[in-house]
Amino acid sequence: MTAAERVDDQHVDDRYLDYAGSFNRLEDEVCLAAPPESAMSELTADFSALAARVAEHRVDYDRRPTRYAGMSGLPHPILVPYEVHEDGPTSTSGTVEFGLRHMGNENVVHGGIISMMFDDFIGMFVSRSLGSGSSARTAYLNVDYRSMTPVGRPLSVSAEIASVQGRKAFVEARICDGETLCAEAHALFVCPADQMWPGVAGLGD
Ligand SMILES: CCCCCCCCCCCCCCCC(=O)SCCNC(=O)CCNC(=O)[C@H](O)C(C)(C)COP(=O)(O)OP(=O)(O)OC[C@H]1O[C@@H](n2cnc3c(N)ncnc32)[C@H](O)[C@@H]1OP(=O)(O)O
């Protein structure tokens, strides 16, 4: 199941994905380019004009496609797109491809971006798995960086719920490049006190 198939929302359609994807392309190119002074002035004016045009379409929080797209791994200005291939009650797996805009050192992903990817991927998985509509909050997210994570090629990403104790869900996740472990995360997500996980059989305490 792709992320696009999971989104059943009027605010995210193919045209929106093209729009956000083309913005990602612009971000990649900005990260790679060193325009000469003359071109830079022109591009600055173009970017300002573009921002003003987009600003004409501002909407309230609930109607913003970025809210739904980002939370589902789809193209988003900041978050990292991914696809979920297997999605069960206690585990999930898929692929993620970091773009050139996510680069820290040459051709490898910035560590903070990896943490952000884990937060988004795990948070959505926990919310899907343990409570429809409940928003899982990250209490802690510990990331161990085991080897450099490459940009520009598909990597595997997976997570599983290790245990659920009341409002607490302990989750483990990893990103691998083939057989190579790039990074792993140990996280605690907490369900807000005024909600309760609907729960998963066999996982609760
Ligand atoms: C199609 C689209 C649909 C969308 C549909 C919506 C879905 C929605 C998707 C969400 C996708 C989000 C993806 C990113 C997720 C974020 O990024 S969330 C943003 C980042 N996180 C935050 O801002 C959280 C800020 N912190 C807090 O709000 C509060 O501290 C917390 C974490 C909710 C906990 O506060 P609390 O509810 O008052 O709970 P509290 O009593 O303090 O602690 C509860 C238990 O957790 C333990 N605990 C709490 N914090 C810690 C800690 N840091 N370390 C260890 N233990 C801790 C406590 O010791 C306690 O344990 P017990 O005594 O019960 O054994």
> Measured from the CB, is residue 5 less than 6 Å from ligand 1?
no
**Among residues 36, 62, 88, which one ends one of the domains?**
62
Domain co-membership, 57 together with 116 = no
Question: 49-97 pLDDT, tens per residue?
Answer: 999 999 999 999 888 888 877 777 888 899 999 999 999 989 999 999 9
Domain co-membership, 58 together with 86 = no
Domain co-membership, 15 together with 103 = no
Query: What is the whole-number distance in angstroms between the Cα of residue 188 and the centre of ligand 1?
Result: 8
The pLDDT score that the predictor gives to residue 51 is 98
- ipTM, 2 dp: 0.91
Q: What percent of the chain has pLDDT over 70?
A: 90
Listed residue (97, 139, 136) closest to 3, CA to CA: 97
Q: Ligand 1 atom 7: the closest Cα is on which residue?
A: 135
Residue 122: both structure tokens together: 């795990």
Domain co-membership, 53 together with 88 = no
The pLDDT score that the predictor gives to residue 7 is 56
Domain co-membership, 87 together with 32 = no
For residue 67, is it within any domain?
no
**Among residues 62, 90, 112, which one ends one of the domains?**
62
- Report residue 173's pLDDT band, with 50, 70 and 90 as the boundaries: very high
Listed residue (74, 71, 147) closest to 109, CA to CA: 147
Q: Residue type for 57, please?
A: H
Instruction: Specify the 3-state DSSP secondary structure of 97.
Output: coil
> Measured from the CB, is residue 66 less than 6 Å from ligand 1?
no
Query: What is the whole-number distance in angstroms between the Cα of residue 136 and the centre of ligand 1?
Result: 6
How many structural domains is the chain composed of? 2
On the question of pLDDT at 200 being above 80, the answer is no
For residue 199, is it within any domain?
no
Question: 21-37 pLDDT, tens per residue?
Answer: 999 999 999 999 999 99
Domain co-membership, 51 together with 84 = no
Instruction: Specify the 3-state DSSP secondary structure of 57.
Output: coil
Please state the separation of Cα 132 from the chain's center in Å: 19
> Measured from the CB, is residue 127 less than 6 Å from ligand 1?
yes
Domain co-membership, 51 together with 86 = no
For residue 135, which atom of ligand 1 is closest to its CA? 8
For residue 123, which atom of ligand 1 is closest to its CA? 13
**Among residues 27, 62, 97, which one ends one of the domains?**
62
> Measured from the CB, is residue 76 less than 6 Å from ligand 1?
no
Cβ neighbours, 10 Å, residue 150:
16
The pLDDT score that the predictor gives to residue 199 is 60
Question: Candidates 13, 132, 137, 141: which one to mutate for ligand 1, based on the most atoms within 8 Å of Cβ?
Answer: 137
> Measured from the CB, is residue 3 less than 6 Å from ligand 1?
no
CATH number of residue 120's parent domain: 3.10.129.10
The pLDDT score that the predictor gives to residue 132 is 53
Which pTM value belongs to this model? Answer: 0.91
The pLDDT score that the predictor gives to residue 26 is 97
Q: Domain limits at 149?
A: 80-190
The pLDDT score that the predictor gives to residue 192 is 83
> Measured from the CB, is residue 115 less than 6 Å from ligand 1?
no
